[in-house]
Amino acid sequence: MIKKVVAHTMLLFSLLLFTSCFEILEEINLNNDGSGNIAVTFNLSKSKSKLASVMLLDSVNGYKVPSKEDINLSIKNAIDHLNKTDGISNIKKSVDFDNYIFSISCDFKNVNNVNAIFKESIQNQNKREKTNFSTTNYSFNKSNKLFKRHFVYDTSIKKSFNTLKSEDRKVFNDASYTTIYRFKNVIKSVSNNIAKVSPNKKAVMLRVAAIPLIFGEKSIENTIQLINN
């Protein structure tokens, strides 16, 4: 990745190689006018004892172990990029080295501002690796209150996974990707059959294990229709 937010958070991903369990959490609180807040959290707390030992080393199995300074600089660079993105404000970070939980959040004027954060990185990734990832991750139609989390599977995900050593692949056995979206209006329907709507019908959670996601058997794509009132 180029020197954008995705590139600057790659050190967080490198920590995942030394864990046996981790979760990536994507949360959005969306207002009726299309503005809102997004937070992305890397939760490695279930492997904190192992990570505490790993962080004392320079490398493990040929992989460089990032230092606390490396991770803090990576997060700082990501925030610097967010500060330069139109429509993004109220940027916050949370860094917990005791439990190995890292989070970045920000407000946005509309979901296109969030798409813009990753657009250039995705375009360069597609060009370099001959992949076909979409630069549109989210969309929201204010008129009919239709929110979409876009995700187009690319077989390169599976190919990259298969290039890993068998021991490294085991890292993903207990990993997961979770999305939680909260709305002001009541949810009428969701398209993803593994998504769960909250009792008050104003939030939806979708949790996908990493392996089915990598192999294209499950998806985080979801179309959420809100009641327009």
According to the model, what pLDDT value does residue 16 have? 63
Residue with tokens 């080295």: 97
- How do residues 58-103 score in pLDDT, each as one tens digit? 877 777 788 888 888 888 888 988 999 999 999 999 999 999 899 9
Strands (E), 124-226: 138-141, 146-149, 176-183, 187-190, 196-197, 203-209, 222-226
According to the model, what pLDDT value does residue 2 have? 30
Sequence-distant (≥ 6) Cβ neighbours of residue 17 within 8 angstroms: 60, 63, 168, 171
Angstrom distance (rounded) from CA 31 to CA 37: 9
Asked if pLDDT for residue 8 goes beyond 70, the answer is no
According to the model, what pLDDT value does residue 77 have? 83
pTM: 0.89
Q: Which two tokens stand for residue 109?
A: 């004027």
According to the model, what pLDDT value does residue 13 have? 57
206, exposed or middle or buried, with CB in 10 Å at 0-12, 13-18, 19+? buried
In three-state secondary structure terms, 99 is coil
Mean per-residue pLDDT of the chain? 87
